[in-house]
Amino acid sequence: MPPKVNQHNQSEFWQKTPIHITIVIIAFIWTLPTMGLFISSFRQRDAMLSSGWWSIFQHPFEITQYHLGNYLDVLQSQGMGQAFLNSLTISIPATIIPIAIATFAAYGFAWMEFPGRQFLFIIVVCLLVVPLQTTLIPILRAYRDLGLTNTFLGVWLAHTGYGLPLGIYLLRNYIGALPRDLIEAAKVDGASHLKIFTQLIVPLSMPAIASFAVFQFLWVWNDLLIALVYLGGTNDVAPVTIQLSNMVGSRGQDWYLLTAGAFISMTVPLMVFFALQRYFVRGILAGSVKS
């Protein structure tokens, strides 16, 4: 490699070093609470009352005293294991259903001609600014009359309704930015709307679909308000957020158990985020660029 190129690379490296150091510092500060929560989840009551979680760095050999007793207690006696399964039962259908409906609707708004298409899409966009709190009482009354309170079906429908405006808006912008020539060529070949949708639109729109799935799943998993209103805190169907809220009220003095329960509730969102994090940027930029 020529000397000038080496000098240029070295100069560019030293110019970007402050930026890299700043990013590392911000990342460390951002993950510090999670690390403290994780360490505290293995500590016992006496240890938490006598010293902070950072004492592990002062006495690193005492890590052998840490064990899984807190997690076993939370999962077995505190009902977090059943709550974890309830959260999965709520989150998975409440993510799949709005994705399916929003993808069909986005294709219709983007590539199908029908009267009132733009007006309906404007209504969908307007729904994005409607606070969901204004709908809680009317929907709860309807659920009471239909017998859907304290049921998974009621929560699935609620999350579907609340997530559809964002899903339709996001996917419509992305699907509408796909090459028109590709869609028209498929129509010339005699492909129906269903065939175009299943064989062209869905494969090409996977970045936007996956990003919306991440947003929807994280929102449903971390939700407390909707679950508390429509499930009423019933232990048989309570998700981890309600169970943690109950633990704060009844076991607020047992911080060592709360930290274990909180970290259990964080495991699935962390796995989803790290597995699909590359779709976040694509989801934010969906519709503004073509991939």
Q: Does residue 286 sit in helix, strand or coil?
A: strand
Range of the domain at 280: 80-180+207-284
Q: Are residues 30 and 162 in the same domain?
A: no
Angle at 287 between CA 286 and CA 291, to 5 degrees: 70
Q: Does the pLDDT of residue 94 top 70, yes or no?
A: yes
Q: Are residues 273 and 146 in the same domain?
A: yes
Q: Residues, the chain, total?
A: 291
Q: Are residues 130 and 16 in the same domain?
A: no
Q: Are residues 100 and 238 in the same domain?
A: yes
Render pLDDT for 30-49 as a digit per residue (tens, 0 to 9).
888 878 777 777 777 666 66
Render pLDDT for 203-259 as a digit per residue (tens, 0 to 9).
888 888 888 888 899 899 988 889 888 987 666 788 888 887 777 655 555 666 777
- Burial of 161 by CB count in 10 Å (0-12 exposed, 13-18 middle, 19+ buried)? middle
Distances (CA, A) of 209 to 100, 104, 233, 272, 287: 9, 11, 32, 14, 12
Cβ atoms of residues 212 and 283 within 8 Å: yes
Q: Are residues 93 and 22 in the same domain?
A: no
Residue 42 in any domain: the answer is yes
Greatest mean pLDDT among 2-11, 159-168, 273-282 lies in 159-168
Residue 113 in any domain: the answer is yes
Last residue of a domain, one of 72, 98, 119: 72
Q: Are residues 91 and 176 in the same domain?
A: yes
Our count of domains for the chain comes to 2
Cβ atoms of residues 205 and 105 within 8 Å: no
User: What pLDDT, on a 0 to 100 scale, did the predictor assign at position 132?
Assistant: 86
